[in-house]
């Protein structure tokens, strides 16, 4: 069981990353809104409509990031809740054939965290895809005029 927990933990803190790289991780990868900073510093000749669309996409992304952060906070709070803490305290002290729900509680937490990482991956992918479509149109229009 310990081996499974260690491999799952690598999603949140891969050992091959430096401390700096780990500090930049957000739910197993980059935070989607960070890509907007790159765009804002590297593209200076957008028309107002493009700026407006980019701002709208940035707001949508921030809202989705906040939703995921709230869900992660709920999982973290559940990990510190009295029922789970009591299971942790009991673990290894069971006598006379007592059965613990510890493994089930850990599996439930792992499933919740895995689901959040999957949702974060989807948000990263969707944000990049929307920006790619946005920039393909922008490049086409800039070459046309």
Supply the pLDDT for residue 24: 72
- Cα 58–chain centre separation: 16
The token pair that represents 63 in the structure block: 């809202």
pLDDT in tens, 84-122: 777 777 766 766 666 667 778 888 888 898 899 899 999
Say if CB 124 and CB 30 are below 8 A apart: yes
pTM of this prediction? 0.72
Q: Where are the domains of the chain?
A: 31-144
pLDDT in tens, 30-82: 888 888 887 777 777 778 888 888 899 999 999 999 999 999 999 888 877 77
Q: Band of the pLDDT at 7, cuts 50, 70, 90?
A: low
């Amino acid at each position: 069981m310990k081996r499974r927990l260690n491999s799952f933990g690598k999603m949140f803190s891969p050992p091959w990353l430096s401390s700096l790289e780990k500090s930049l991780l957000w739910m197993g990868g980059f935070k989607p809104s960070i890509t907007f900073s790159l765009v804002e510093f590297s593209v200076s000749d957008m028309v107002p409509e493009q700026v407006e669309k980019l701002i709208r996409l940035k707001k949508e992304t921030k809202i989705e990031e906040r939703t995921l952060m709230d869900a992660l906070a709920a999982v973290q709070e559940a990990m510190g809740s009295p029922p789970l803490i009591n299971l942790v305290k009991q673990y290894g002290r069971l006598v006379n054939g007592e059965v613990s729900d510890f493994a089930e509680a850990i599996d439930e937490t792992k499933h919740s965290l895995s689901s959040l990482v999957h949702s974060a991956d989807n948000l990263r992918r969707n944000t990049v895809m929307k920006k790619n479509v946005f920039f393909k149109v922008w490049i086409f229009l800039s070459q046309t005029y």
